[in-house]
Amino acid sequence: MAWVKAIPSGGEDVFDEDVDDLNLEQKEWKCNMEKRVKDGYRDGVDTGKGSSLQRGFNIGYREGATRMVAIGQLKGIMSALQWWCQLKPSDPNRLTSVRQLLQSVIKQEESMLEGLSMVEQPANVGDITEIIEDMGMGQPKSGCSDSFGDTGCSRTGEQQGDSGTRKSCGLLSSAPSSTAEQTLAQLVKSCADLVEELGLPEELLHHLHQLGST
């Protein structure tokens, strides 16, 4: 009986080959699913970072534009005061003070414009991520104490030199913006004092106070 001889002996399973194919398909399906999950997670992270960067850029640009409007209006007011003092000559020292204050306003405007020109459009999220990883941010360099980061500055504003001594250093992240706001506020106050001294209308003084609060 030929069909009896065709039956495999030794306990072999005639479906072993089908089982192997099924296991291979399951492994391939699992691998593809894991890859899709990882790709989806990575895309989600990139999208979140991109949204945060764009939102931060919009906020910074809006704040910068507001300051530029304020300094521009202040320059216009000081220019008008200069012409007013020239048309009504009284105290030469007063005209000199107006001119000096106007020059200070112009210099402050130029400084703020220079700061804004350094701001570029947001870079690609992937590029920023690679740069951050290459810099190793958040990991202290070897040879530094735990209180010092990559900048060599501690949280208290101290810097550690090569000889182990500590030097004072500013918190660079917030210093430029704070300095600009402080200088603008000082210029507005000086202009308001001058307007009050000249006895000009209260509406102008009120407008200057509004500029100082921006």
pLDDT at 152 over 80: no
The pLDDT value recorded for residue 139 is 45
**Selected residue with higher pLDDT from 143 and 44:** 44
pLDDT in tens, 4-41: 555 555 555 555 666 666 777 777 877 877 777 777 76
The pLDDT value recorded for residue 181 is 61
Residue located via tokens 């534009």: 65
Nearest one of 8, 28, 72, 49 to 211, comparing CA atoms: 72
Q: CB of 167 within 8 A of CB of 161?
A: yes
| 43-49: average pLDDT | 70
pLDDT band of 124, cuts 50, 70, 90: low
Q: Which residues contact 8 (CB under 8 A, 6 or more apart)?
A: 14
**Selected residue with higher pLDDT from 14 and 198:** 198
How far is the C-alpha of 14 from the C-alpha of 25, rounded, in Å? 19
How far is the C-alpha of 200 from the C-alpha of 60, rounded, in Å? 35
The pLDDT value recorded for residue 66 is 76
**Selected residue with higher pLDDT from 78 and 122:** 78
The pLDDT value recorded for residue 103 is 92
| pTM exceeds 0.75 | no
The pLDDT value recorded for residue 166 is 41
Q: CB of 191 within 8 A of CB of 101?
A: yes
pLDDT at 75 over 80: yes
**Selected residue with higher pLDDT from 8 and 98:** 98
Domain boundaries, the chain: 28-118+173-214
The pLDDT value recorded for residue 202 is 87
Nearest one of 139, 79, 87, 83 to 106, comparing CA atoms: 79
pLDDT at 154 over 80: no
- Percent of the chain exceeding pLDDT 70 equals 51
Q: CB of 140 within 8 A of CB of 148?
A: yes
